Structure 1
Amino acid sequence: MHINNSERLKFRLMDAQDAQALWQIDQDPQVMKYLNGGKPTSMAQVNNVFIPRMEQYRDDKLGWGIWQVSDKLTDEYLGWVLIRPMAFFTDAANDKDLELGWRFFQSTWGKGYATEAAIAVKNAVVANTDISHVSALAVADNAGSISVMKKMGMSFVRAYLHQDAIGDFDAVHYQMSVNS
């Protein structure tokens, strides 16, 4: 699958060769604040946990995976957007409800890049798949991510303890219906 450039951004599906780029964005404690309390990710964690998990859900035909987001004029790496089935790493994976997630360098915050990128990825994947919903999760006090969810048109669904092999967290779940 290909995602067309948006107004300011271009997209490329990342793979195992992108370990350095995935590691790089995780070195800012502010970027990691709501993910693990602000600890930088080690290269070993990227190679031994993050990349293998990504490879489990990555599907270039369906558009599932982590999409690198770059400035279409300067080619500057700004961040990434993840898209995969909700609850992918459980027995209740739901490929009719796709989960969006994002991570952007702090220097890009407040400029609308995460919203623009998440909408572009969502629109491309929705247009080419048979899904009913798009969801996103965040910790309850991550106002930046919740703002992106609301700007996309998502509504609050629930607050709950999200359980995952790499760490549990008190989550808020936002969701929107899509017309396939």
Structure 2
Amino acid sequence: MMIASTARLVVRDWTESPDDLAVVYDIYSREEVMRWLGGGRGLLTDPGQAVERVRSWRERNAPYDGRWGLWAIEPRAAGGAAGSVLLKPLPGRDGVTPTDDLEVGWHLHPDAQGHGYATEAARAVLAREFAAGTARVHAVVMAGNEPSVAVARRLGMTHVGVRTDWYGGAELETFVLNRPV
């Protein structure tokens, strides 16, 4: 299902197609990607784990009926996914229980970085969410992840310091964006 689109991108559900599963494995098996996503927990080590990952995303986000989730970013010119964009409730201090705070995030294949895909996809899902009435969305970034800090700033997000409210109390650089007036 398509979630959003721009002139260059389609934001859509990840599928269990061989092409999507290969991209999921290629992204989430890379230490240079996973080190920014909880210190490498969840690193895929076998291509067969990609289908489990896609199914877990689908199951975790099913209650949100497409409003929130983790989706593929597909550049129209490439004909395949380049990464993920997410919009979902931040998990609390226990790392599991959803809070009332929403998070926007992005995970790109290293070859797809630097083309503006994360910013463009995030803008599209943020516009959709703000149109639905949400007042504020957060982005959380591990210290040292300067490319993600740059995306948050390009989105117009304001840095509000380090917070430990989410993801099991991890220290995260926190950015916020309020719905445009």
TM-score bracket for the superposition, by shorter chain length? 0.7 to 0.9
CA distance in 1, matches of 2:98, 2:84: 25
Which residue of the partner structure matches residue 103 of structure 1? 107
Query: What is the correspondence of 1:61-140 to structure 2 with a 5 Å cutoff?
Result: 61-87=65-91, 93-94=99-100, 97-127=101-131, 129-140=132-143
Which residue of the other structure, out of 132, 146, 152, is the alignment partner of 1:149?
152
CA distance in 1, matches of 2:175, 2:60: 24
Rate the CA distance shift 1:90–1:60 in 2: closer, same or farther, 3 A: closer
Aligned length: 175
Fraction of identical pairs, as percent: 26
After TM superposition, give the deviation of residue 121 of structure 1 in Å: 1.4
SS of equivalent residue, structure 1 residue 173 = strand
CA distance in 1, matches of 2:112, 2:64: 27
TM-score by length of 1: 0.79
Is 2:7 the counterpart of 1:7? Answer: yes
After TM superposition, give the deviation of residue 63 of structure 1 in Å: 1.9
Which residue of the partner structure matches residue 56 of structure 2? 52
Report the residue type matching 1:57 in the other structure.
N
TM-align CA RMSD: 3.1
Unaligned runs of 5+ in 1: none
Which residue of the partner structure matches residue 23 of structure 1? 25
Deviations 1:87-140 (A, max 9, x none): 36655611xx4211110000111111110111111112322x221101110112
CA distance in 1, matches of 2:175, 2:87: 14
After TM superposition, give the deviation of residue 8 of structure 1 in Å: 1.1
Which residue of the partner structure matches residue 160 of structure 1? 163
After TM superposition, give the deviation of residue 11 of structure 1 in Å: 1.5
CA distance in 1, matches of 2:142, 2:152: 12
Which residue of the partner structure matches residue 176 of structure 1? 177
